[in-house]
Amino acid sequence: MTLCRISIVMAAVIMAWPGLGLAEAAMETEGGDSGVPLPVIPRGQGDNCVADTEIMRRNHMTLLRHQRDETMQQGIRGKQYSLKECVNCHAVMGPDATPVTVASPKHFCRSCHDYAAVNIDCFQCHASRPESGNFPGDHDRSAALPVTQAVIRIK
């Protein structure tokens, strides 16, 4: 059992790119008790997701990357898969009533990426939290929901 699980976990870590979808598939035989603490993913603000969690988990990188080229080279803005909107919606409030930056492990992206050990390059350049005036709660995003603790459901 151990050897099987070790190799599965290793395959999962190696295949963490693209997205966790493959990792989930790899772990489906075992369930979530591998001894590694599962990440705590804070729920996004607002009432609507851009797309299903499963789709986003698997494909968010591809969607972002395709859109970024469109934005950079053709100036097409405001489409769905905007990193800025991701950051705005998925901002996690810190103890000082401002959203945390990517330096904090509580950051939405980090909560998964730390677990999957996949480096995030985006926030070297992109702002990892919304501008003041755009914090969650600044706008009425249809009854701001409290940040709830969510756990990855590993089938």
Partner 1 sequence: MNMNRKTKKKNIAGRPGFDPGRRSFLGAVAAAAGVTLAPGVFLYGVGASGPALAREPGVAVSGDVRWGMLIDLNHCDKGCNECVSACVEENGLKGHGRPATDAQWIRKVDIHDPDTGLSQSLPVMCQHCAEPPCVDVCPTGASFKRADGIVLVDRHTCIGCRYCMMACPYKARSFVHEELEDQKPHAPRGQGTVESCTMCVHRVDAGGQPACVEACGRKGGGAMLFGDLKDPGSEISKRVASYATQQIRADLGLDPGVRYRNLK
Contact residues: partner 1, CB under 8 A: 46-51, 55, 68, 70, 72-80, 82, 84-85, 87, 101, 103, 124-131, 134, 139, 141-142
Q: How far is the CB of 55 from partner 1 (least distance, A)?
A: 7
Our CB check for partner 1 shows the closer of 80 and 148 to be 80
Q: How far is the CB of 19 from partner 1 (least distance, A)?
A: 15
Our CB check for partner 1 shows the closer of 47 and 114 to be 47
Our CB check for partner 1 shows the closer of 27 and 102 to be 102
Our CB check for partner 1 shows the closer of 78 and 146 to be 78
Say which residue the tokens 């969510």 belong to.
150
